Structure 1
Amino acid sequence: MNILLTGGAGFIGRWVAKRLLEDGHHIWILDDLSNGREVNLAEFREHSGLKQFIQGTILDEQLLSNLFDEHRFEICYHLGASINVQDSIDDPRTTFNNDTVGTFNILEQCRKYHTKVVFMSTCMVYDRCTDVEGITEQHPIKPASPYAGAKIGAENMVLSYYYAYRLPTVVIRPFNTYGPFQKTGGEGGVLAIFIKNKLSGKDLAIYGDGTQTRDLLYVEDCARFVVESGYSDRVDGHIVNAGLGRDITMNDLAKLIVGDESRIKHVEHIHPQSEIAKLLCNYKKAKQLLNWEPQISLEEGIRRTEAWIQDSNLI
């Protein structure tokens, strides 16, 4: 198939690109490199399936129109977005434009050619978990940050095109994803930052009291979920979660990674108003509709990520 992947130079996008190329598709990657890095795609440069990398923005309607008119994509995996919660609090306009207006621009092009839309949302749209079975897709949402609010707005537009135009669309909500190629600096994920600090002899800093929990999904499991959502019409018109189905407190995660509790420090939270106290995924719907479930344990995922950070000389 001819496939457009927005945000394909990003952390998750890079793994989605890898899987699509392995499956034999022709892919075009559109990324403005505000979060992604072209080096993430270095190993695919000579791959015959990677037709073009375009540095550009989903806010450029003419660029999108030209791409769709020329290549008539069968699927658009739409991962391109502003992803930083604190940035959305500091500058909500940019996040709204990228995540909501940009998604509208994608939808309008997909409507022209009946292109399936796989929209990458986030578990950050949910209110805290109160059920021992975890968060299902029916769980209450809470836009605790402009990032979450922009994603909810985009989700509703994506689903509206399914109902109004019968456009095949699906909203996917992966939980906290980690693994190789994730940034290890301030914009990276907590697990990658913890591992880098461990390896470089620094303390591990935890915001607040560290009792907040996260459900951590290994990136290759996430990419498999993303790709399969595009292949199956069983999820069209649906919202679907993906996670490990196991949560862990930040205190326990830090202990698991560094071992030495004297290297764990607690610091004042930079955005306590947008903190979600407990995140635990219930992925039964993904298992039912896609036959998807995670394959990599947290311990194995940490081992693989630590090995990659060491091998990449990121310490």
Structure 2
Amino acid sequence: MNILVTGGAGFIGRWVVKQLLSENHSITVMDNLSNGRLENIEEFKNNSNFKFIGGDIRDKSKLDEVFKDKFDIIYHLAASINVQDSIDDPETTFFNDVVGTFNILERAKMQMFGKNGRTDGNGWILDSKEDTYPCKVVFMSTCMVYDVSGNEGIPENHPVKPVSPYGGSKIAAENMVLSYYNAYRLPTVVIRPFNTYGPFQKTGGEGGVVAIFINNVLHGRNINIYGSGEQTRDLLYVKDCADFIVASGYSEKVNGQVVNAGTGRDVTINELADIIVHNKVKINHVKHIHPQSEIMKLKCNYSKAKRLIGWEPKYTLQQGLKETRKWIMGTKLLK
């Protein structure tokens, strides 16, 4: 298959690309490198099935150029991803996550139904002169759209509660994605992975909590926890996450659906810190920058993914932490 991955130079995106290439698909990555990095995709550059295009999903003319190719699946991962940044700069998050997603949907619709195609009841009347080609859009949303979890975990029909412009923008984009399925019959799926960690995640202030904690401990630096540390996260290892994303693109059973991915277990940030630190550095609790946007309990119910596409996580937290630590040691400390 010919596949487009937006945001494919990002942390999760590069793992999706790696898996797709291992399955002998032709992959085009489009990324503006605002979050992604060329070093993430360095290992793919000599693969004849891999192509990188530098560009922004807000740039309509660039998208028109990219979509001169016909794609079987579009994995749309490009986004502003930082909750705190979205509070300080909501406009950038809105245009990246909502308008950018709309631009992708429009081009997918045009590829599948043409510029001159028009809806007719539940079907389409296509222009036979146009070169149309079917495709599917997989939209990566986030668990950060949800209201706080109960002990039973969060299923897909759990209430949403946007407590940041990031969450609000993702919900808006989700609704557009699902509207294109319902209004136009464009195959789409909304996926909501829970908190993902692993190799290639940034270890600085803009990175994930696991990567930041491990990196600080390896460098002998104390770690800071925002607030009480009693907030919980369902930590999904990135290889499991990539497997879920790829499988969501392959299966028609999830079309028009919202689907979660997580482990079904949550851990407090205090517990996570204790596991990683092993009394090697000091753990500090500091004032939360934006406490109003904290979700105190996140725990996934992934039964729908298991039922529809046979997906379930393979990695335990201990296995994932071990691989992540090994990667950070190899890339950060040995350079």
Shorter-normalised TM-score: what interval?
Answer: over 0.9
Letter in 1 for 2:39: V
Number of the residue aligned with 1:133: 152
> Runs of 5+ in structure 1 lacking a partner?
none
Output aligned runs, 1:180-199, within 5 Å: 180-199=199-218
**Per-residue displacement from partner, 1:102-121 (whole Å, max 9, x unpaired)?**
00000000001232000000
Output aligned runs, 1:160-199, within 5 Å: 160-199=179-218
Q: Is the 8 A contact 2:137 2:188 kept in 1?
A: yes
Q: Is the 8 A contact 1:255 1:261 kept in 2?
A: no
Structure 1 residues 17 and 160: CA distance shift in structure 2, 3 A:
same
**Counterpart of 1:77 in 2: which secondary structure?**
strand
Greater than 2 Å deviation, 4+ residue runs: none
**Per-residue displacement from partner, 1:133-174 (whole Å, max 9, x unpaired)?**
200000000000000000000000000000000000000000
Deviation at 1:314? Answer: 4.6
> Runs of 5+ in structure 2 lacking a partner?
113-134
Number of the residue aligned with 1:100: 98
CA distance in 2, matches of 1:177, 1:87: 18
What is the TM-score normalised by the length of structure 2?
A: 0.92
CA distance in 2, matches of 1:5, 1:267: 38
Number of the residue aligned with 1:153: 172
- Identical-residue share of aligned pairs (%): 64
Number of the residue aligned with 1:313: 332
Deviation at 1:48? Answer: 1.5
Number of the residue aligned with 1:34: 34
Is residue 59 of structure 1 aligned with residue 78 of structure 2? Answer: no
Q: Is the 8 A contact 2:84 2:290 kept in 1?
A: yes
Counterpart of 2:74 (choices 66, 72, 76) is 76
Letter in 2 for 1:3: I
CA RMSD of aligned residues (A): 1.0
Number of the residue aligned with 1:272: 291
Output aligned runs, 1:214-293, within 5 Å: 214-260=233-279, 263-293=282-312
**Per-residue displacement from partner, 1:16-56 (whole Å, max 9, x unpaired)?**
00001011111110000000001100111111210x21111
Letter in 1 for 2:58: L
**Counterpart of 1:313 in 2: which secondary structure?**
helix
Q: Which protein is bigger by CA-based radius of gyration?
A: 2
Q: Is the 8 A contact 1:129 1:280 kept in 2?
A: yes
Letter in 2 for 1:144: V
In the alignment of these two chains, the number of paired residues is: 312
What is the TM-score normalised by the length of structure 1?
A: 0.98
Number of the residue aligned with 1:90: 88
